[in-house]
Structure 1
Amino acid sequence: MTLTDIFRYPMKGMGPDRLDSVALTPGLGLPFDRNWAIVHDSSTVDAAAPVWAKKANFLCLARDEKLAQLETSFDEETRTLTIFRKGKQISKGRLDDPMGRTLLQTFLNSFMPSGPRGNPKIVEAPHEVQFTDMEEAKVSLINRASVSDLERVTREPVDLMRFRGNLYVDGLKPWQEFDWVGKRIRVGECVLEILMRIDRCAATNVNPASGDVDMNIPLSLRKGFGHIDCGVHAKVIMGGTIRPGDSIELA
């Protein structure tokens, strides 16, 4: 069993940042994963003093699929987010700088529809908080074989990035990751405790390449397997650095 890919999503609802390695800390998620998010006009989150909140308070693919039309690049050293559309750079700004956030917000305001989910504002998560769908920081793990098995039901390819996982793994049987719930696994230098299965929402229906809603993943999961789950949440128990190619075993 092998770790094949590592991804984080610096801006909630926007594109992935592929990593060649990452240092994990006990009790925390990947550094800078969902570290920023975009609140809208109907949000109850105070943009001046943001806290963790449910995903309905932020722009997200489940309701704002147009975000998938954008690609992003994140520079960790400078905290700079660059936004592209169809390969062309269209906005750039430092996320730790008010002027940089304003530049990005100005573009998003023109790109996203107006109304109750308009007037976007970028907010940064407080220390040791991430704008994930669940309040406690976790790492998500996706079994590539399970997604391949899902394709038997959809009868067409399913892009792995629909599931916006952190760690993608190979060498398991389909759905074997569900048997790990309540157990611990070793990934490279780290030990993770598998906490729960991940139930899937409408965000997975959005084609990550085009932004089109072109599948119904939760329905396909329910029809084919009697549940709407794909992937598992894990907690970092023992920290360290992990890399694609690291072996995975039950601890």
Structure 2
Amino acid sequence: MTALLAQICRHPIKGHGRETLASVRLLAGECLAWDRHWAVAHDAAKLVEGWNRCVNFARGAKAPALMAITSSLDEATATVTLHHPDRGEMTFRPDDPADLPRFLEWVTPLNPPDRAQPVAIVKAGRGMTDTPLPALSILSTASLADLSSKMGQPLSRDRWRGNLWLDGAEPWAELDWIGKHLAIGGAVLKIEERIERCSATTVDPETGKVNAPTLNALNTHFGHQDFGLYGVVVESGPIAVGDEWRLA
């Protein structure tokens, strides 16, 4: 199989929707543009200035229904449109305090009442990723196909909330790429670490319901619950779906 970039995906509001892109320009030392640009803090958050750990935010691991949100971003106006099968559609500006009550009214029913509740939208001046690194997440379609086969059920890419999906690698070969460089289109990323997965991946991203024991399957078959890699951009450049990739 040819080594090609199969998908680019970003998540403008951390844990609250996803959208695919045809192309994007990567910048050295920065996250994917607009990915996790905002995050939804809950009422038990203990925030510090800048980047914060995921435990401070509403997310699919604690509120599975959030996983069924899809989103689209109008970059020119910083306006986000969210859609959920049970909540319909809403459009708002996360930076506008006047829009916050309307967003909270829409999203609160998707959060279990016995969990910390969403109260604010925050940003850090960089992507609020699950790692302090300004990283993109890189995943392999072959590894996903292999895990799906072992589990006996198809697993959507959307479960994994990845940024870049690669065709053409051998299943699980990417786990040995730490320290290597990945060239895609006009950009180069350095592979920094593996991604340890959480229970959000057990959720069906179409329905927001738990329906697949992904963590148990990873531990049973491979002795860990890692899926995918974090990479940091070291050379800026454009990338597009269909670009060839190579290890350097």
Do both share a fold (TM > 0.5)? Answer: yes
CA offset digits 1:133-183 (Å, max 9, x no partner): 111210111100001111222111111111111000101110111222111
Q: Which TM-score applies when normalising by structure 1?
A: 0.92
Percent of paired sites with the same residue: 35
Return closer, same or farther for 1:176/1:219 CA change in 2, 3 Å cut-off. same
1:30 maps to 32
Greater CA drift, 18-27 or 93-102: 93-102
For residue 138 of structure 1, the aligned residue among 127, 135, 140 is: 135
**Partner Cα distance (2:110, 2:62) in 1:** 15
1:250 maps to 247
Matches within 5 A, 1:1-251: 1-45=3-47, 50-86=49-85, 89-114=88-113, 116-125=115-124, 127=125, 129-251=126-248
Q: CA RMSD, aligned part only?
A: 1.7
Unaligned runs of 5+ in 1: none
Q: Does the CA contact (< 8 Å) of 1:17 and 1:73 recur in 2? A: yes
Partner amino acid, structure 2, of 1:85: H
Q: Which TM-score applies when normalising by structure 2?
A: 0.93
Count residues with an aligned counterpart.
Answer: 246
**Partner Cα distance (2:215, 2:35) in 1:** 24
Return closer, same or farther for 1:231/1:110 CA change in 2, 3 Å cut-off. closer
Greater CA drift, 84-93 or 50-59: 84-93
Once the two structures are TM-superposed, the CA of residue 70 in structure 1 deviates from its matched residue by 2.8
CA offset digits 1:196-217 (Å, max 9, x no partner): 1111111111111111111121
Return closer, same or farther for 1:80/1:247 CA change in 2, 3 Å cut-off. same
Partner amino acid, structure 1, of 2:15: G
Unaligned runs of 5+ in 2: none
Q: Does the CA contact (< 8 Å) of 2:159 and 2:202 recur in 1? A: yes
CA offset digits 1:63-107 (Å, max 9, x no partner): 111212333222111111112233974322112222233321232
**Partner Cα distance (1:90, 1:16) in 2:** 14
Return closer, same or farther for 1:248/1:69 CA change in 2, 3 Å cut-off. closer
Partner amino acid, structure 2, of 1:154: M
Q: Does the CA contact (< 8 Å) of 2:62 and 2:115 recur in 1? A: no
**Partner Cα distance (1:248, 1:90) in 2:** 36
